[in-house]
């Protein structure tokens, strides 16, 4: 793999070029709550030591609200117009647990019918990943096949060498093309530069065997294991909405004038009690324990059955942000120890 | 860019009121091209939409052997079904589909077929009944057992009468005890009881059962008693759906996408699914 | 004075309640989380300290806890919400066994800089000693300190022009992702079907767009005016970091200054929103 060296100053120059070309740049907000557009290049900051932003970067390909078509009613006729997903974007400084999520979601958005809203956005996105030096009690990337230094999902992967200098690896073709295009900013480097930095990264303390978790889930659908979680889970959408891999959505129409409006995909979550409620009042998942069971099973069993991937990158967001600190990492660790 | 969420536009050609809260729409594609392109199989469903209100899921109630119109029958229960009721002949609705799997009509050739339906559950069954009747010679004995809460709740009354008049179809119509009118000539009793009484033969037979969960629950043991094999009892599920495309996650039962792997399931398939329907 | 574990044991041994809602350690040091215990054998992991941020009263109106006799660990502000729930006829006094916490204030947040500061609500707290309780327990931790930054912000917002204020909230609400964590954590958001979930008609647009977010956050603030007791759980749990207390506190201030009403103080006094008075003022509406 090609490795380069780029200084923070040159990264800012790169950002400046991109902004001038009309590319949208996104990076974690100063309070680290979410991804925001970078307006001025000299505000570019890369913080491998920061915790994962409270809300993931999935919006880049799967926005919280994604128009799919526009309609115009006129008496008894209707005119439809396609929605077109947005222009080019670059995501700066994604943690491996954010970057890897796009490939995981890609499976469900393309296994049969192709969701081109997701696809087009992803196609127009360049992901600049960043080796992560943070970890806390809620992280567990290394138990779901990733690590703080995994390049999966990144087109270019950065490793901080010093406050002012980064190693940059061109991971994908897209990344290689990108580096070529801005080659005056990237100096030739080699892996000896990034190696010590990468080796010093220890990663999260939490470890569990995801195969054992699946083994237990395979055999224990009917269980009272989730009852204590159901006791305190509030049934909000926080865990799903901040999660980089959750992809449930609702389809909703909204008028914006008397005769015009749009249809859109809005984030939805299996923890909401109305998610599965039928008109008759029958609800297949009629309590919070069953809804949390769905969450864990979908992530650590169903998605693997279906798409051979764990629907979780171990970022710990759902747990850190949970109003009642329900910690998926410790829950699946417990499950892993049951077999 | 191909947009899987973009519906066809359909014109409402005719409105038929089945009961006080259930209505059938006869729809025609606004575009000739769409009409030519479109094909489906009995048992499949679609997303119907009123622009500005949203989408909802109904099965296609007409058979693939009658392509002049697409028909759906719906019960007024919520936002979109209410809005649909406000529409008139000539109005436009959106239609996405067909989605999901279908009844195994080809595999049913040469067999005896027993249709059992309750309430609006007759809608998906009607598609396959008409499909089979249009190809009558390819199938052996046909039994239709249909029940509703009351005489007023029976849907497709015209067709029920038609089927009752056919010499090569056995049609039994029943209403729940207390739901009869003074001049009611059909059966009185819950569907499972009437099935037991009618005792359709199970050899070389396939059965299609659709209706409220409670009806299905009590009909299944009767079917087993009559000797039907689990794999020859076929039903449809009605988990909530949004996309119909295996994306939105709404319809999941375990690792199954009801909108893709279903909605048609045999009882033997259902038995191994988690109890989440 | 008895600690929370022995008090909880006593609750079960003396059959004072069927279940007890309290706090237990969370995964990381410095955090706690809610827990429901059902017998004296389960009480040993209960904790009580300045990391007990949650307002557990939100569980009192849950379907599965209704009709049960529930013991609950409650700080003064949490007790305010219990009082308000009683006043609004959502729970019965005799069905809650209140273990009131003599409180020194809690942390502003579990982690980071804010974990070293006292929560803003605690700075002007008038219920550090429980105003309604069946027994009390000391919170062992030392008092924290900090500044009321929100009070300054509220003043600043008050001095803004309507346009500036609108711009401020526009920027804040744009962030909302419609996760409804605020509603789910709120002890007084107990409606069986929230207006935001009603679709016929759809009063509040469900989309997390500018319009839908404004509708949601304004409606929620309205529905809590004269009712919010200031536990600030909504703001604490909001993953988007929207300063919801600016709205709710302002509402509390108006209720107090214009109507002399403070929610959560008396279970017997008529509620502000539930009473019509010919003398009710209108001129504060701008
Ligand atoms: C494969 C399939 C085929 C169906 N075929 C028919 C049919 O032929 N005729 C018919 O009348 N109905 C059918 N249904 C049910 C129908 O989809 C719902 O009744 C309809 O979507 C309600 O839409 P609404 O906007 O009016 O209700 P909403 O306003 O969205 O909701 C009103 C109430 O209905 C519930 N609800 C929403 N969607 C469903 C659903 N899919 N199933 C059950 N309850 C739901 C909501 O939780 C709410 O309580 C079918 C459902 C499925 C999944
Ligand atoms: S686990 Fe936490 S974040 Fe998720 S629904 Fe429950 S309370 Fe909300
Ligand atoms: S489930 Fe939790 S830990 Fe896993 S990817 Fe989602 S937010 Fe991260
Ligand atoms: S965990 Fe729940 S919200 Fe997340 S993708 Fe799975 S079903 Fe959807
Ligand atoms: S507001 Fe008062 S009772 Fe509540 S936590 Fe703060 S000091 Fe304690
Ligand atoms: S918690 Fe915050 S993001 Fe979630 S709905 Fe409430 S205001 Fe919006
Ligand atoms: S209806 Fe969306 S996945 Fe099945």
Ligand nearest to the CA of A294: 4
Query: Under CATH, which architecture does the B8-99 domain have?
Result: Beta Barrel (2.40)
Q: Is the pLDDT of residue A126 over 90?
A: yes
Calculated CA dihedral for residues A132, A133, A138, A144, nearest 10 degrees = 50
Return the best residue to mutate from B249, B255, B258, B274 for the ligand 4 pocket (most ligand atoms within 8 A of CB).
B249
Residue nearest to atom 4 of ligand 4 (CA): A246
Neighbours of chain B (3+ CB pairs under 8 A): A, C
- Structural domain contains residue C123: yes
What's the confidence (pLDDT) of residue C1? 53
Whether C134 and C157 share a structural domain: no
Taking only the tens place, the pLDDT of each residue in B39-84 is 999 999 999 999 999 999 999 999 999 999 999 999 999 999 999 9
Neighbours of chain C (3+ CB pairs under 8 A): A, B
Separation of first and last alpha carbons in chain C: 51
Contacts 24+ apart (CB under 8 A), C149-152: C149/C120, C150/C120, C150/C243, C150/C245, C150/C246, C150/C249, C151/C120
CA distance C130 to C123: 16
What's the confidence (pLDDT) of residue C282? 74
What's the confidence (pLDDT) of residue A55? 96
Whether C104 and C164 share a structural domain: no
- Structural domain contains residue C102: yes
CA distance A239 to A312: 12
pTM confidence score: 0.94
Q: How many independent structural domains does chain C possess? A: 2
List CB contacts (< 8 A) between C209 and chain A.
65, 254
Tell me, yes or no, if B79 comes closer than 8 A to chain C by beta carbon. Answer: yes
List CB contacts (< 8 A) between C27 and chain A.
137-138, 319, 325, 327, 329-330
Pocket (CB within 6 angstroms of ligand 6): C 176-182, 217, 237-240, 242
- Structural domain contains residue C58: yes
Q: Give the percent of chain C with pLDDT over 90.
A: 76
Judge if the beta carbon of residue B249 lies within 6 A of ligand 4: yes
CATH 2.40.30.10 spans which residues of chain B? 8-99
List CB contacts (< 8 A) between B275 and chain A.
222, 284
Residue numbers of the domain that contains C20: 4-138
Return the best residue to mutate from A62, A101, A290, A294 for the ligand 4 pocket (most ligand atoms within 8 A of CB).
A294
Q: Is the pLDDT of residue B146 over 70?
A: yes
Q: Which one is predicted more confidently, C139 or A175? A: A175
Whether C155 and C132 share a structural domain: no
Contact status, residue C23 vs residue C35, Cβ threshold 8 Å: yes
Tell me, yes or no, if B213 comes closer than 8 A to chain A by beta carbon. Answer: yes
ipTM: 0.93
Whether C124 and C237 share a structural domain: no
Cα of A294 vs centre of ligand 4, distance in Å, is: 8
Taking only the tens place, the pLDDT of each residue in B223-242 is 999 999 999 999 999 899 99
Q: How far is C200 from chain B (nearest CA, A)?
A: 6
Which tokens is B22 given? Answer: 């259930």
Q: Relative to the CA of B240, which ligand 7 atom is closest?
A: 1
Whether C90 and C205 share a structural domain: no
State the CB neighbour count (10 A cutoff) for residue C113: 8
Q: Rounded to the nearest 5°, which phi and psi values hold at A250?
A: -105, 160
- Structural domain contains residue C281: no
Domain B106-236, CATH among 3.40.50.80, 3.50.50.60, 3.30.465.10, 1.20.120.160: 3.40.50.80
The residue in chain A having the minimum alpha-carbon distance to the alpha carbon of residue B91 is A76
Pocket (CB within 6 angstroms of ligand 2): A 233-236, 238-239, 271, 322-324, 326
The average pLDDT across C273-286 equals 73
Cα of C180 vs centre of ligand 4, distance in Å, is: 16
Eight-state DSSP code of residue B272: T
Q: Place C284 in a pLDDT band, splitting at 50, 70 and 90.
A: low
Compute CA distances B40 → B57, B61, B264, whole Å.
Answer: 16, 11, 14
CATH 3.40.50.80 spans which residues of chain B? 106-236
A321 half-sphere exposure, CB direction, 13 A CA radius: 29
Taking only the tens place, the pLDDT of each residue in C145-202 is 999 999 999 999 999 999 999 999 999 999 999 999 999 999 999 998 999 999 888 8
What's the confidence (pLDDT) of residue C285? 67
- Structural domain contains residue C266: no
Q: Which residues contact A65 (CB under 8 A, 6 or more apart)?
A: A264, A265, A266, A267, C207, C208, C209
DSSP lists the bridge partners of residue B188 as B175
Angle A146-A148-A152 (CA atoms, 0-180°, nearest 5)?
50
Q: Is the pLDDT of residue C225 over 90?
A: no
Contact status, residue B55 vs residue B94, Cβ threshold 8 Å: yes
The average pLDDT across A217-231 equals 96
Q: Place C281 in a pLDDT band, splitting at 50, 70 and 90.
A: confident
The average pLDDT across C53-74 equals 94
Whether C17 and C59 share a structural domain: yes
Burial state string for C216-229 with b = 16 or more CB within 10 A and e = fewer than 16: bbeebbebbbbbbb
Q: Rounded to the nearest 5°, which phi and psi values hold at B111?
A: -115, 165
């Amino acid at each position: 793999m090609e490795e380069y060296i780029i200084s923070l100053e040159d990264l800012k120059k790169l950002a400046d070029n991109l902004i001038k070309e009309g590319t949208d740049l996104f990076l974690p907000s100063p309070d680290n709550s979410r991804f925001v557009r970078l307006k001025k290049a000299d505000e570019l900051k890369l913080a491998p030591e920061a915790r994962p932003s409270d809300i993931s970067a999935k919006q880049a390909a799967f926005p919280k609200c994604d128009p799919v078509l526009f309609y115009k009613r006129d008496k008894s006729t209707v005119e439809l117009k396609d929605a077109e997903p947005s222009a080019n974007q670059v995501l700066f400084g994604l943690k491996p647990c954010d970057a890897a999520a796009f490939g995981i979601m890609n499976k469900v958005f393309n296994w049969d019918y192709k969701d081109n809203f997701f696809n087009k956005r992803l196609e127009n996105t360049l992901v600049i990943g960043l080796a992560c030096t943070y970890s806390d009690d809620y992280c567990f990337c290394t138990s779901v096949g990733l690590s703080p230094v995994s390049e999966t999902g990144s087109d270019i992967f950065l490793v901080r060498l010093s406050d002012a200098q980064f190693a940059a690896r061109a991971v994908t073709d897209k990344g290689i093309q990108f580096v070529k295009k801005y080659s005056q900013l990237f100096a030739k480097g080699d892996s000896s530069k990034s190696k010590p930095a990468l080796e010093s990264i220890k990663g999260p303390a939490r470890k569990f065997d995801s195969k054992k978790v699946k083994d237990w889930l395979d055999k224990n659908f009917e269980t009272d294991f989730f009852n204590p979680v159901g006791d305190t889970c509030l049934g909000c959408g926080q865990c799903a909405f901040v999660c980089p891999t959750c992809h449930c959505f609702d389809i909703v129409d909204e008028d914006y004038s008397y005769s015009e409006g749009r249809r859109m995909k809005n984030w939805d979550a299996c923890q909401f009690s109305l998610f599965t409620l039928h008109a008759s009042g029958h609800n297949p998942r009629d309590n919070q324990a069953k809804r949390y069971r769905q969450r864990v099973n979908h992530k650590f069993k169903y998605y693997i059955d279906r798409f051979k991937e764990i629907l979780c990158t171990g970022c710990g967001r759902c747990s850190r942000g949970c109003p009642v600190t329900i910690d998926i990492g410790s829950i699946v660790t417990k499950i892993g120890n049951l077999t | 860019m191909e947009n899987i969420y973009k519906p066809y536009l359909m014109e409402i050609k005719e409105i038929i009121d089945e009961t006080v809260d259930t209505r059938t729409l006869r729809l025609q594609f606004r575009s000739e091209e769409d009409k030519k392109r479109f094909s489906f199989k009995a048992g499949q469903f679609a997303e119907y939409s009123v622009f500005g209100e949203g989408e909802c899921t109904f099965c296609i109630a007409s058979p693939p052997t009658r392509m002049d119109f697409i028909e759906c029958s719906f019960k007024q229960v919520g936002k979109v079904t209410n809005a649909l009721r406000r529409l008139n002949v000539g109005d436009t609705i959106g239609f996405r589909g067909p989605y999901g799997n279908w009844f195994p009509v080809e595999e049913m050739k040469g067999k005896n077929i027993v249709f059992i339906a309750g309430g609006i559950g007759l809608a998906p069954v009607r598609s396959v009944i008409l499909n089979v009747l249009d190809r009558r010679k390819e199938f052996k004995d046909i039994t239709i057992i249909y029940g509703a809460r009351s005489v007023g709740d029976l849907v497709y009354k015209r067709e029920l009468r038609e089927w009752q008049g056919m010499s090569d179809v056995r049609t039994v119509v029943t209403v729940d005890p207390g739901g009869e009118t003074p001049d009611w000539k059909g059966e009185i009793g819950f569907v499972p009881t009437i099935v037991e009484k009618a005792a359709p033969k199970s050899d070389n037979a396939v059965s299609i059962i659709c209706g409220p969960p409670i009806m299905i629950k009590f009909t299944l043991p009767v079917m087993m008693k009559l000797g039907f094999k689990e794999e020859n009892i076929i039903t449809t599920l009605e988990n909530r759906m949004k996309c119909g495309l295996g994306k939105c996650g709404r319809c999941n039962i375990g690792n199954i996408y009801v909108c893709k792997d279903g909605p048609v399931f045999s009882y033997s398939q259902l038995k191994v699914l988690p109890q989440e329907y | 004075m008895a600690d929370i574990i022995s008090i909880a044991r006593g609750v079960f041994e003396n059959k004072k309640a069927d279940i007890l809602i309290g706090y237990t350690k969370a995964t990381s040091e410095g955090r706690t989380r809610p827990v429901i215990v059902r017998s004296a054998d389960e009480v040993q992991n209960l904790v009580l300290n300045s990391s007990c941020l949650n307002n557990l009263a939100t569980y009192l109106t849950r379907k599965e806890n209704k009709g049960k006799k529930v013991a609950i660990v409650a700080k003064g502000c949490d007790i305010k919400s219990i009082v308000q729930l009683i006043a609004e006829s959502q729970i019965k006094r005799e069905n809650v066994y209140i273990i009131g916490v003599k409180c020194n204030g809690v942390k502003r947040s579990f982690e980071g800089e804010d974990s070293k500061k006292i929560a803003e609500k605690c700075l002007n707290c008038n219920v550090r000693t429980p105003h309604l309780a069946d027994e009390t327990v000391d919170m062992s931790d030392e008092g924290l300190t900090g500044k009321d930054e929100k009070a300054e912000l509220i003043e600043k917002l008050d001095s803004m022009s309507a346009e500036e204020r609108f711009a401020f909230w526009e920027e804040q609400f744009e962030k909302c992702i419609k996760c409804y964590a605020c509603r789910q954590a709120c002890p007084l958001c107990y409606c069986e079907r929230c207006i935001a979930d009603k679709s016929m008609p759809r009063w509040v647009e469900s989309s997390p767009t500018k319009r839908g977010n404004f509708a949601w956050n304004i409606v929620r603030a309205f529905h809590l005016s004269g009712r919010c007791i200031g536990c600030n759980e909504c703001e604490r749990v909001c993953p988007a970091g929207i300063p919801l207390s600016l709205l709710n506190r302002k509402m509390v201030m108006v209720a107090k200054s214009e109507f002399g009403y403070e929610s959560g103080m008396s279970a017997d006094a008529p509620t502000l929103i539930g009473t019509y008075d010919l003398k009710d003022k209108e001129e504060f509406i701008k």
